[in-house]
């Protein structure tokens, strides 16, 4: 199984400042078709998860452009250009390359 | 708009069975792969199972393989999860989620999620 790790696990942020979360996979998520099968999800307190980024860098519908994803085969990054109060929650990366699909442990983002 | 509504959760004794349902609306149900994902209290997300758009392909997490069965009825726009031989460690909120693709893996992610249904396995 592909093991996903994230850092940091806790990220206090200041509104208006940038933030960055790292995700690493134990195997390359680069498919032979050229796509990187890495998703980012955000789960706000008391809510269901929501898709932010898929294929490593494509924003899902309705996701603000302050969120961006990037990365290589095993190292990925989610960046928030200017954090807003509504961005508080837990962020998960998930590999979608092969089953079993696996999530990272989550990064809790809260306001300083 | 897209809606996914889970039901069937509750309190069940270890070793017993439970069937979850997920009623979907607002999209062409038969064109999308569907997942079950769970979250134990205070813990992270754990992928459970996925079924392709036509029901011909299904995959499971090792932790539930042989005990859980995913199925779908495209005529009723409903996804199911039959859970047998339940264990305390199966206690979680169970979410159904639509994948943006027809088949999984090598897919584009869970773009719509239900609100979840809580399953508690306890004697």
Residue with tokens 């200041």: A14
Instruction: Tell me the C-alpha to C-alpha distance, in Å, between residue B108 and each of A35, A57, A85, A94.
Output: 10, 11, 28, 11
Residue with tokens 């696990």: A9
Locate the chain A residue with the closest alpha carbon to B35: A101
For chain A, say whether B26 makes contact (Cβ under 8 Å): no
Q: What is the DSSP letter of B9?
A: -
Rg (CA), chain A: 13
Backbone angles phi, psi at B88, to 5 degrees: -55, -35
Contact A48 B106 (CB under 8 A): no
A45 C-beta neighbours (distance < 10 Å), count: 8
Locate the chain A residue with the closest alpha carbon to B63: A100
In chain A, which residues have their Cβ closer than 8 Å to the Cβ of B113?
48-50
Query: Confidence band (pLDDT; 50, 70, 90) for A105?
Result: very high
Query: Confidence band (pLDDT; 50, 70, 90) for A57?
Result: very high
Compute the average pLDDT of residues A47-65. Answer: 96
Locate the chain A residue with the closest alpha carbon to B36: A101
A89-98, pLDDT tens digit by residue?
999 999 999 9
For residue B105, the model assigns a pLDDT of 83
For residue B107, the model assigns a pLDDT of 84
For chain B, say whether A63 makes contact (Cβ under 8 Å): no
Residue B108 tokens read as 């584009």
For chain A, say whether B107 makes contact (Cβ under 8 Å): yes
Whether the ω angle into residue A8 lies within 30 degrees of 0, i.e. cis, is yes
Compute the average pLDDT of residues A24-51. Answer: 96
Please count the residue pairs, one from chain A and one from chain B, whose beta carbons lie less than 8 angstroms apart: 78
For chain A, what is the mean pLDDT? 96
pLDDT above 70 as % of chain A: 100
Q: Measured between CB atoms, which of B46, B95, B105 is closest to A96? A: B105
Conformational region of residue B114, where left means phi above 0, alpha means psi within -120 to 50, and beta covers everything else: beta
Is B82 strand, coil or helix?
Answer: strand
Contact A92 B44 (CB under 8 A): yes
Contact B45 A48 (CB under 8 A): no
Query: Across-strand partners of B3?
Result: B25
Ranges of chain B whose pLDDT falls below 70 = none
Interface subset of B 46-105, CB within 8 angstroms of A: 46-47, 50, 59-62, 95, 97, 100, 104-105
In chain B, which residues have their Cβ closer than 8 Å to the Cβ of A94?
45, 47, 109
User: E-assigned strands of chain B?
Assistant: 3-7, 10-12, 18-25, 34-39, 45-51, 58-60, 68-73, 78-83, 92-99, 110-113, 117-121
For residue B46, the model assigns a pLDDT of 98
Contact A49 B44 (CB under 8 A): no
For residue A64, the model assigns a pLDDT of 97
């Amino acid at each position: 199984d592909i093991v996903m790790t994230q850092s940091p696990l806790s990220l206090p942020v200041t509104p208006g400042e940038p933030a960055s979360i790292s995700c690493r996979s134990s195997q390359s998520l680069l498919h032979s078709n050229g796509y990187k099968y890495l998703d980012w999800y955000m789960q706000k307190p008391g809510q269901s998860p929501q898709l932010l980024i898929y294929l490593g860098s494509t924003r899902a519908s309705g996701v603000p452009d302050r969120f961006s994803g990037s990365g290589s085969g095993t190292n990925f990054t989610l960046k928030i250009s200017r954090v807003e109060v509504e961005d508080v929650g837990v962020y998960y990366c998930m590999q979608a390359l092969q089953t079993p699909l696996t999530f990272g442990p989550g990064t809790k983002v809260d306001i300083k | 708009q897209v809606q996914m509504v889970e039901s069937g959760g509750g309190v069940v004794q270890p070793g017993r069975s439970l069937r979850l349902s997920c009623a979907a609306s607002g999209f062409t149900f038969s064109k999308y792969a569907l997942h079950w994902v769970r979250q134990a209290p205070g813990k992270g997300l754990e992928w459970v199972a996925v079924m392709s758009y036509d029901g011909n392909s299904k995959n499971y997490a090792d932790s539930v393989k042989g005990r859980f069965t995913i199925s779908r009825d495209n005529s009723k726009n409903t996804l199911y999860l039959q859970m047998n031989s339940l264990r305390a460690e199966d206690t979680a909120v169970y979410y159904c989620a639509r994948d943006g693709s027809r088949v999984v893996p090598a897919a584009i992610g869970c773009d719509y999620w239900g609100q979840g249904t809580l399953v508690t396995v306890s004697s």
